[in-house]
Structure 1
Amino acid sequence: MELHLLDRGTIRADLNFALDAEVAAVKSQQSPELIYDDYAVWNLLIDHPEATILWDTGSNPDAESVWPAPLFEASAHEDADEHDLESALAAVGYGVDDIDIVVQSHLHLDHAGGLYHFDGTDVPVYVHRRELEHAYLSANTAVGGDAYLTADFDCDLNWRVVHDDRQLLPGIELLHLPGHTPGLLGAHIHREDGDVLIAGDEAFLAPNYEEGREMGTSLVYDSQAWEASRRKLEDRERRSDATVIYGHDPDQFESLQGTL
């Protein structure tokens, strides 16, 4: 089973989004300098003996024009057009037509913006039930989150709805990790040459997982569920000595390139 990290570019945003109160005013320094930082955007190509799996579909290459202006202002994916899905797949020797299965960890606009490639096809798209419900509610009402675009997922897709932890294929378990969103999915990939745990946006950066540093309130739907999901991943890591992959950590992304 071969794993390939796909480079989908870089989002730039305030570090406080990922590390709550990383930069905070105090009496002696009431105007601290904020940190505007890089966040990696990636997908994962899993070449399994039974199927070629794409984990997430990344941002729409036209993010600057299709994302709501306030969202792009807060989390600018300026190079999305330079790191489109076709180019990212081609860089590791694959094409969109090679994909047999898509797994959407969740349906935020930086993760589901490439689903249009599978519109009208029979390629199964796995998503958790709570995520699909929450995405439609959020995109079409004043309730829910603000990082969902109806156009990303309201199309002719072959949805396969996940209700709980389940085996996707031999050696690949899908894990329900609510917290960042109600239906966030991660995965436990069992391999002879080392297990991999996909934490995804359960932990934007390493300190979220390794130190239990909570993300900012705009990135956490349910704090108690978030902490329970982190403990669930920690338990699996202890039992399997797996490599844990975070959602947007640029240093980890660079270090893992070509090593999985």
Structure 2
Amino acid sequence: MEFHLLDRGRIHADLNFALDAEVAAVYSDQSPALQYGEFAVWNLLIDHPDATVLWDTGSHPEAADGHWPAPLYEAFAHVDAAERDLETALGEVGYDIGDVDVVVQSHLHLDHAGGLYHFEGTDVPVYVHRRELEHAYLSAKTAGGGDAYLAADFDRDLNWQLVSDERQLLPGIDLLHLPGHTPGLLGAEIDREEKRLLIAGDEAFLAENYEEGRSMGSSLVYDSRAWERSRRKLKERERRTDATVLYGHDPEQFERLHGQL
């Protein structure tokens, strides 16, 4: 297998979203300065002997031009979504949309599912957990659920392949159910010759979430108990296999691994 970590740009947001109460008022400092930073957005292309797999499809290129609702864009500004669109990122590693045989959607938040329109009306299978698809429609179509789902991203003619239990996607690639951030978050365990890879994705926005057990902000955690169980599951697999764990939006890890997976 060959791996290409695709650079889909940066989201600008308050650090408190990723690290709960990272900046908080205290008696001696009742007006602390907020920390506003950048978070990496990536997709992963896996060139497997049996199929070319795209992990997530990233933000819609028109995120800044009205595709994302203004309040969401204000909170999570993907400032270079148009510049770092999926076609550009694939082209930088020598691929194009037509080379993709399989898509895996870790979940259907707007910064992960915005490129699904490329596969509308095709027979390319799009794998997603059943609970995630149900929750996405509930969220986008009713007053229930979460805020980060856009029907325009996923309510399309797609070749959905629903995942209900943990399963093998292809030889050497096992899909993992990691509920917490969302009900149907998918990760993966990938058996590589050099070093096993665990895709944690948005189970951990940053290294501190995974390594120190620091919770993300409440708006980014659907179920805190499930989140901790999923973290322990990954920790146990990492302990047994000495795997590299790939986080969801950690800019330092992205820069370290980009071009080296």
TM-score using structure 2 length: 0.99
Letter in structure 1 aligned against 2:93: V
Counterpart for residue 112 of structure 2: 111
- 1:53 — aligned with what? 53
Structure-to-structure mapping, 1:166-245, within 5 angstroms: 166-245=167-246
Q: Percent identity?
A: 77
SS in 2 for 1:203: coil
Aligned partners of 2:116 and 2:228: how far apart in 1? 30
CA shift for structure 1 position 258: 1.3
**Long gaps (5+) in structure 2:** none
Secondary structure of the residue aligned to 1:235 is helix
1: CA distance, partners of 2:50 / 2:246: 23
* Aligned mates of 1:114, 1:257 — CA distance in 2: 21
Tell me the secondary structure at the aligned position of residue 80 of structure 1: coil
Deviation string 1:210-243 (CA, Å, 9 cap, x unpaired) is: 0000000000000000000000000100111100
Structure 1 residue 164, shift from structure 2 partner:
1.3
Find the counterpart in structure 1 of residue 69 from structure 2: 68
Give the distance between the partners of 1:243 and 1:158, measured in 2 at CA: 31
1:138-159 Cα shifts (integer Å, max 9, x gaps): 0011100000000100110000
The aligned runs of 1:1-260 (5 Å cut-off) are 1-64=1-64, 65-260=66-261
User: Number of aligned pairs?
Assistant: 260
Secondary structure of the residue that 1:209 maps to in structure 2?
Answer: helix
> Aligned partners of 1:171 and 1:240: how far apart in 2?
14
Q: Deviations over 1:93-148 (max 9, x none)?
A: 10000000000000000000000000000000000000000000000111000000
- SS at the partner of 1:82? coil
1:202 CA drift (Å): 0.1
Which AA in structure 2 matches 1:178? Answer: P
1:146 & 1:140 partners in 2: Cα distance? 11
- The letter of the residue matching 2:178 is L
Moved over 4 A (4+): none
Inter-partner Cα distance in structure 1 for 2:143 and 2:157: 25
- Show CA shifts across 1:154-198 (max 9, x none): 110000000011000000000000000000000000011110000
Over aligned residues, Cα RMSD in angstroms? 0.4
1:257 Cα deviation from its structure 2 partner: 1.1
Q: Deviations over 1:12-43 (max 9, x none)?
A: 00000000000000000000000000000000
| Equivalent position SS for 1:66 | coil
SS at match of 2:72: helix
Distance 1:110 1:9 in 2: 11
Gaps of 5+ in 1: none
- TM-score with structure 1 setting the length: 1.00
Q: Amino acid of the residue matched to residue 4 of structure 2?
A: H
The CA distance in 2 between the partners of 1:27 and 1:185, in whole Å, is: 41
How far residue 11 of structure 1 moved from its aligned partner, in angstroms, is 0.2
For 2:260 and 2:243, the matched residues in 1 are separated by 14
